[in-house]
Amino acid sequence: MFPIRPRVRTGAVIAAIVALTAPLAVACGSGQAGPDTLVIYSGRHEGLVGGLLDRLGQATGLDVEVRYGGSAEMAAQILEEGAATEADLFFSQDAGALGALGEQGRLATLPARVLNRAPEKFRAADGSWVATSARARVVAYDPGQVREEELPESADDLLDPRWRGQIGYAPTNASWQASVTGFRVLRGEAGARAWLTGFAGNQPQRYQNNLAVLDAVDQGQIALGLINHYYWHRKVAEVGEENVNARLHYVGGDDPLALVNVAGAGVVEGNDSPDAALKAVEFLLSEQAQRYFADNTAEYPVNADVTSARHDLPPLTEVQSPDIDLSSLSSLQETLAMLQEVGLS
């Protein structure tokens, strides 16, 4: 079983998220950008996209300065700085942070020629941002402990007592938090809280990140793990599929467990370099950049004509996911509060 649109508005400005998340850690190129410098606030990790953003400068001739941090924190910083921000482009790890800035009017409307490079479900309805790559939530499983016919067909199957203590998740991971926001959008506040309470009661195992979850499944320490698809594909590329015990299961359908989220970009409203920022977005949607995502990060390119030469990914068009407006994943503050309430933060 291998497509995304209600809308939940932020209950407060996303800057309040800072109080609930780790302190902002920003890597700056110079601290004070020059007037001819394109400044990118990146919520994507330097280890993943640093090489690509180096190519951006080379391919476009732009003088690029990148400041790295978490997507929610970088969005909060743009809001806090207001019209004085040096950010020209926001490059986000997830759609929620982009949606939050769009709701606050801090992103400029992108032209149709740019928006149309991505499928409709992978761009903002108001044209304020466009996806650059996509990732699917999947269930990693140990085939030594779980037969294929026993694999969960929905999120509710994870509440079965048979999985008590046998499911791994990464509570501080942004993708886990976004998936919980997806639960809230799809099932409402009461429905999401009920599922989270049941999940917490099944004593899931906490890990530092998705890779640690995958390793625990791979080593047979747990039966199931909630991760993004690309962690498995990177591991296979590194050590060979014959040396990876864990396997992937796509739940599919309109289940919250099948969420496909995106990384994306938006041009900051009123920035000093609008033409350069737009050129950067176009680069991120170019064949060169899309191939980088497909081959280097094992994400799904949003350009359907680009496929990976390195990773054997099922086509994105065949990966089923809930019909949800990805901009509605902006209410992270409420998600973090709910996770704290039920003991899953």
Give the tokens for residue 199: 């999940």
Q: Is 41 annotated as a binding residue?
A: no
252: left (phi over 0), alpha (psi -120 to 50) or beta: left
Q: Is 68 annotated as a binding residue?
A: no
Q: Is 229 annotated as a binding residue?
A: no
Partners of residue 139 on adjacent β-strands: 226, 249
The answer to whether the CB of 102 falls within 8 A of the CB of 128 is yes
Burial of residue 279, with CB atoms counted within 10 A of its CB: 0-12 exposed, 13-18 middle, 19 or more buried: middle
Checking DSSP bridges between strand 130-141 and strand 167-169, what pairing results, if any? unpaired
Distance CA 94, CA 88 (A): 18
Measuring CA to CA, how many Å separate 153 from each of 139, 156, 174? Answer: 10, 8, 23
The C-alpha angle 250, 251, 253, rounded to 5 degrees, equals: 120
Q: How far apart are the first and last CA of the chain?
A: 30
CA atoms in the 13 A half-sphere facing the CB of 251: 27
Burial of residue 293, with CB atoms counted within 10 A of its CB: 0-12 exposed, 13-18 middle, 19 or more buried: buried
Distance CA 66, CA 52 (A): 11
The answer to whether the CB of 164 falls within 8 A of the CB of 203 is yes
Distance CA 89, CA 37 (A): 11
Sequence ranges of the binding site for Fe cation: 45, 230-231
Sequence ranges of the binding site: 45, 230-231
